[in-house]
């Protein structure tokens, strides 16, 4: 269970990033955090990733404040794929995938390679294992980034604007791939792409100007979108 | 309690200073400076031995002082500064007594008397017979000598060009860039003959020069001992014997046997390569330690808190924005004075030429490489760190596995440039008398008078090391480009 409780972030200059945000995301079907730009999605994401310290409120993972979780455990609880993907350009795809399992979690190279290979197959890009990030397309890079995060088997995986760099066809194939993925991980899409959210998520919250203004099924939230 | 500590520190300091001062008395070497580039007074023989009139006088004085002799060769231009800084006890370097120098140091009784003489090319015999005839012309003199100052002040219409030593003067005489030079009469005759040059004295001696041994003003005790030694050498005929041995021929014979000195190829190779090995040693140590220091320094330049970063950047800019030559002279000659200024004895900060050279080169290497590290790190997007942290890597792991490998690739070309530049800069160590390849070349030139040959040899040695480095750098760059960095790969 991922609980965001009364979370507020006020920046140094006094501008408010998010105000009193409370969201509960149960494990299971994909969830969407919706909002246009300036809604506070990025601030929320930074807090969820422990890259920003909230001014007040807390984030709990299975009842535990995320600040109190060890680095290794935390990243296996809550993964993030940023909009920029941040693939490591100096490493081939397979090593991009296995760097963390090997260096952080002490997995053997052969085991990590095997799991990464399977993951790439599942994502439909098995042939790219030895390519470098500069040699693959945007849609392929998106899959690699998701696969890299999934290899840590996090309870939740936050995807930051996963479709922003993709065209309509690639977006659809990404959505269908994610739907078919056999995984225990709960996906959380942080996006302004309503059609994409509709394809995948059942429940969602809508954010505006740093606050949550609606919560419920995606179809219901669509009604509030226009305001 | 506080009183106790004060007394304790005071006593310790006194004891230490006493130890340091007493170390200069009997038993400790009598440290003498000369240039080693001033035949027949001091020069390197064909066997590579330091010899000459000044050298033998030094040994004889030391023997009479009952102390072993330690001869330090240094550039003439800085020889008095070195005495003041306490690098050596006395200069037995054919220094003439002048009122200006007497204000700074104490001079012994003269150990020979010579005079300033104008020399010209033999074929110009009919053109010039005195300095007046050279008004409007250019003549040469060694930098910082009384000859230079006298001609400059008494013959303002003569263009006085200054040189590091007689070999350089001879080269410009032969090339016709200067029409004469002023030097010690004995020395000039001796050198012209050895170099096989037809240079002859023109006119009479400009003035007599009393050549004596300076010590620092606070060292009257040593001065008295030196004077006693000179007096006994005068009385028992030692000084006369030495004069006959070194000047007898040169003063009497003309320029009749004009055979340039020939050195065995073996010996030249050995000396040059040994010098170059020291060059490479200094450069290698400086590059390795410099790079190790440059990594944390470069990280701090990029990421330290603003105040610290500003201070470090200023320090870095200062090192990079001042000439290495000045830094070398500062560290070598200035550091002992820094010690004195801090209330410590001059010994506290005294470094050997090699130590001073390596220290300065290391600081330089660290400064230049830190800048390379900094800009390399800046070339890696911040998202790379965020991405690594999001995958559970610690900050150190993110740096080591993600940021550093990418930054390092960007750094390789400028890093190689720094290394090649540093290697070449090592040649500057010759100004503080490190026995590196240029110093060795200069010694060989002072014997053979063949500057072109030996400087070219030195240049080739540098190039033989620098070139593969440059090639390797280019190849490395190509390989990195192939490994997935460019779309075209």
Give tens-digit pLDDT for B291-330. 999 999 999 998 888 889 999 999 999 999 999 999 998 8
Q: With H, G, I as helix, E, B as strand and everything else as coil, classify residue B208.
A: strand
Instruction: Give which of B105, B137, B104 is closest to B120, Cα–Cα.
Output: B137
Average pLDDT over residues A71-79: 89
10 Å Cβ neighbour count for B103?
8
pLDDT in tens, chain B (489 residues): 555 566 666 666 655 555 544 444 557 899 999 988 888 888 887 777 888 899 999 999 999 998 999 999 888 877 888 888 888 999 999 898 888 888 889 999 999 888 888 999 988 888 888 888 888 899 999 887 778 888 888 888 898 888 888 888 888 898 888 999 998 888 888 888 778 888 888 888 887 788 999 999 989 999 999 999 999 898 888 888 888 788 765 444 333 333 445 567 777 788 888 889 999 999 999 999 999 999 999 999 988 888 899 999 999 999 999 999 999 988 887 777 777 778 777 667 777 888 889 999 999 999 999 999 999 999 999 999 999 999 999 999 999 999 999 999 889 888 988 999 999 988 888 888 787 888 888 877 776 777 788 899 999 999 999 999 888 888 887 777 665 554 433
Q: With H, G, I as helix, E, B as strand and everything else as coil, classify residue A105.
A: coil
CA torsion B109-B114-B118-B124 (nearest 10°) is -170
Chain A positions touching B381 (Cβ under 8 A) are 84
| Domains in chain A: ranges and CATH | 2-88+141-146+154-225 (3.40.50.300)
Give whole-number Cα distances, B97 to B66, B94, B162, in Å.
26, 10, 20
DSSP secondary structure of B452-482: HHHHHHHHHHHHHHHHHHHHHHHHHHHHHII
Copy the structure tokens of residue B161.
């060009």
C-alpha A87/C-alpha A95 separation (Å) is 10
Phi and psi based region of residue B263 (left: phi greater than 0; alpha: psi -120 to 50; beta: remaining): beta
CA B325 to chain centre: 9
Which A residues 5-44 touch B at CB under 8 Å? none
C-alpha B401/C-alpha B408 separation (Å) is 11
Chain B positions touching A82 (Cβ under 8 A) are 383, 386-387, 390
Beta strands in A48-124 (DSSP E): 56-61, 64-65, 78-81
Q: With H, G, I as helix, E, B as strand and everything else as coil, classify residue B114.
A: strand
DSSP secondary structure of B151-193: HHHH-TTSEEEEESSHHHHHHHHHHTS-SEEEEEHHHHHHHHH
Chain A positions touching B383 (Cβ under 8 A) are 82, 84, 86
Instruction: Give which of B318, B393, B330, B419 is closest to B81, Cα–Cα.
Output: B330
Is the Cβ pair B392, A80 closer than 8 Å?
Answer: no
Is the Cβ pair B390, A80 closer than 8 Å?
Answer: yes
Q: What is the pLDDT of residue A81?
A: 93
Chain B positions touching A76 (Cβ under 8 A) are 392
Copy the structure tokens of residue A185.
């991980």
Chain A nearest CA to B2, separation (Å): 48
Is the Cβ pair A90, B394 closer than 8 Å?
Answer: no
CA torsion B419-B422-B423-B425 (nearest 10°) is 160
Q: What is the pLDDT of residue A57?
A: 92
Identify the sign of the CA torsion A200, A203, A209, A211.
negative
Find the CB nearest A75 among B384, B391, B489.
B391
CA B144 to chain centre: 15
Q: Is the ipTM of this complex over 0.90?
A: yes
Beta strands in chain A (DSSP E): 2-10, 16-25, 31-34, 56-61, 64-65, 78-81, 156-160, 186-191, 203-208, 211-217
Reply yes or no on whether the pLDDT at A208 is more than 70: yes
Residue A86 at interface with chain B, using a CB cutoff of 8 Å: yes
Nearest CA in chain A to B408: A90
Strand partners, B107: B214
Is the Cβ pair B392, A71 closer than 8 Å?
Answer: yes
C-alpha B16/C-alpha B120 separation (Å) is 56
Antiparallel, parallel or unpaired: β B30-34 and B69-73: parallel
Instruction: Give which of B404, B403, B439, B422 is closest to B72, Cα–Cα.
Output: B439
Is the Cβ pair A75, B383 closer than 8 Å?
Answer: no
- Kindly report whether the global pTM for this prediction surpasses the value 0.90: no
Is the Cβ pair A89, B390 closer than 8 Å?
Answer: no
Percent of residues in chain A assigned helix, strand, coil, to nearest 5: 40, 25, 35
Chain B positions touching A81 (Cβ under 8 A) are 390
Q: What is the pLDDT of residue B487?
A: 41
Is the Cβ pair A82, B387 closer than 8 Å?
Answer: yes
pLDDT digits (tens, 9 = 90+) for B350-406: 778 888 899 999 999 999 999 999 999 999 999 999 999 999 999 999 999 999 999
Residue A133 at interface with chain B, using a CB cutoff of 8 Å: yes
Task: Give the H/E segment covering residue B115.
Answer: strand B112-121
C-alpha B1/C-alpha B7 separation (Å) is 10
> How many percent of chain A have pLDDT more than 90?
52
| Domains in chain B: ranges and CATH | 2-112+210-252 (3.40.190.10), 114-209 (3.40.190.10), 265-485 (1.10.3720.10)
Reply yes or no on whether the pLDDT at A226 is more than 70: no
C-alpha B71/C-alpha B81 separation (Å) is 16
pLDDT digits (tens, 9 = 90+) for A6-28: 999 999 888 888 999 999 999 98
Burial class (CB in 10 A: 0-12, 13-18, 19+), B348: middle
Is the Cβ pair B387, A133 closer than 8 Å?
Answer: no
Chain B nearest CA to A217, separation (Å): 29
Q: What is the pLDDT of residue B139?
A: 92
Antiparallel, parallel or unpaired: β B180-184 and B138-142: parallel
Q: What is the pLDDT of residue B395?
A: 92
Q: What is the pLDDT of residue A93?
A: 95
Inter-residue contact B82 to B74 (CB < 8 Å): yes
Q: What is the pLDDT of residue B489?
A: 32
C-alpha B288/C-alpha A4 separation (Å) is 51
Q: What is the pLDDT of residue B84?
A: 85
């Amino acid at each position: 269970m991922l609980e965001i409780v009364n979370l507020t972030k006020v920046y140094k200059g006094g501008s408010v990033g998010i105000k009193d945000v409370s969201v509960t995301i149960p494990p299971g079907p994909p969830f969407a955090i919706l909002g246009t730009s300036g809604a506070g999605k990025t601030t929320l994401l930074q807090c969820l990733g422990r890259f920003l310290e909230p001014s007040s409120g807390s984030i709990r993972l299975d009842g535990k404040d995320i600040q109190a979780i060890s680095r290794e455990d935390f990243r296996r609880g809550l993964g993030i794929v940023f909009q920029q993907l941040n693939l490591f350009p100096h490493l081939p795809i397979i090593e991009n995938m296995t760097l963390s399992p090997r260096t952080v979690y002490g997995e053997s190279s052969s085991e990590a390679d095997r799991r990464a290979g399977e993951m790439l197959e599942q994502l439909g890009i098995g042939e790219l294992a030895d390519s470098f990030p500069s040699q693959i397309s945007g849609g392929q890079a998106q899959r690699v980034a998701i696969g890299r995060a999934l290899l840590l088997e996090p309870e939740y995986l936050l995807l930051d604007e996963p479709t922003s760099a993709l065209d309509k066809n690639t977006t659809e194939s990404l959505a269908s791939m994610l739907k078919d993925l056999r995984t225990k991980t709960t996906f959380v899409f942080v996006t302004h792409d309503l059609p994409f959210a509709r394809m995948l998520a059942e429940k969602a919250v809508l954010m505006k100007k740093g606050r949550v203004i609606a919560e419920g099924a995606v179809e219901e939230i669509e009604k509030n979108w226009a305001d | 309690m506080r009183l106790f500590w004060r007394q304790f520190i005071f006593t310790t300091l006194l004891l230490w200073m006493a130890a340091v001062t007493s170390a200069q008395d009997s038993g400790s070497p009598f440290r003498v400076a000369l240039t080693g580039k001033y035949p027949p007074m001091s020069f390197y023989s064909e066997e590579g031995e330091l010899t000459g009139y000044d050298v033998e006088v030094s040994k004889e004085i030391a023997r009479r002082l009952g102390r072993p002799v330690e001869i330090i060769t240094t550039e003439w231009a800085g020889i008095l500064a070195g005495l003041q800084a306490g690098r050596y006890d006395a200069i037995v370097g054919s220094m003439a007594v002048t009122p200006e120098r007497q204000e700074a140091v104490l001079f012994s009784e003269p150990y020979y008397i010579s005079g300033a003489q104008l020399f010209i090319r033999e074929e110009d015999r009919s053109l010039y017979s005195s300095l007046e005839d050279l008004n409007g012309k250019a003549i040469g003199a060694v930098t910082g000598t009384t000859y230079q100052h006298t001609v400059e002040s008494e013959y303002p219409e003569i263009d006085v060009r200054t040189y590091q030593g007689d070999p350089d003067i001879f080269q410009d005489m032969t090339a016709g860039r200067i029409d004469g030079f002023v030097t010690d009469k004995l020395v000039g005759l001796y050198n012209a003959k050895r170099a096989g040059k037809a240079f002859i004295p023109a006119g009479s001696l400009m003035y007599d020069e009393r050549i004596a041994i300076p010590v620092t003003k606070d060292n009257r005790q040593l001065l008295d001992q030196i004077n006693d030694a000179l007096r006994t050498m005068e009385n028992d005929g030692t000084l006369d014997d030495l004069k006959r041995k070194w000047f007898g021929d040169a003063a009497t014979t003309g320029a009749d046997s004009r055979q340039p000195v020939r050195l065995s190829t073996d010996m030249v190779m050995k000396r040059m390569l040994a010098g170059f090995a020291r060059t490479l040693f200094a450069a290698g140590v400086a590059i390795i330690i410099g790079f190790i220091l440059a990594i944390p320094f470069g990280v701090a330049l990029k990421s330290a808190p603003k105040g610290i970063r500003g201070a470090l950047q200023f320090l870095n800019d200062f090192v990079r924005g001042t000439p290495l030559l000045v830094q070398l002279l500062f560290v070598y000659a200035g550091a002992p004075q820094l010690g004195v200024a801090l209330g410590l004895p001059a010994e506290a900060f005294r470094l050997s030429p090699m130590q001073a050279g390596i220290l300065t080169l290391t600081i330089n290497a660290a400064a230049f490489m830190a800048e390379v590290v900094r800009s390399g790190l800046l070339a890696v997007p911040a998202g790379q760190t965020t991405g690594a942290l999001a995958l559970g890597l610690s900050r150190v792991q993110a740096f080591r596995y993600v940021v550093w490998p990418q930054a390092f690739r960007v750094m390789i070309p400028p890093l190689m440039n720094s290394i090649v530049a540093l290697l070449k800069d090592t040649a500057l160590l010759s100004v503080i008398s490190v026995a590196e390849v240029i110093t060795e070349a200069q010694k060989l030139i002072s014997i053979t008078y063949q500057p072109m040959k030996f400087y070219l040899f030195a240049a080739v040695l540098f190039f033989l090391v620098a070139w593969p480095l440059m090639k390797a750098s280019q190849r490395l760059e190509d390989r990195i480009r192939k490994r997935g960095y460019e779309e075209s790969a």
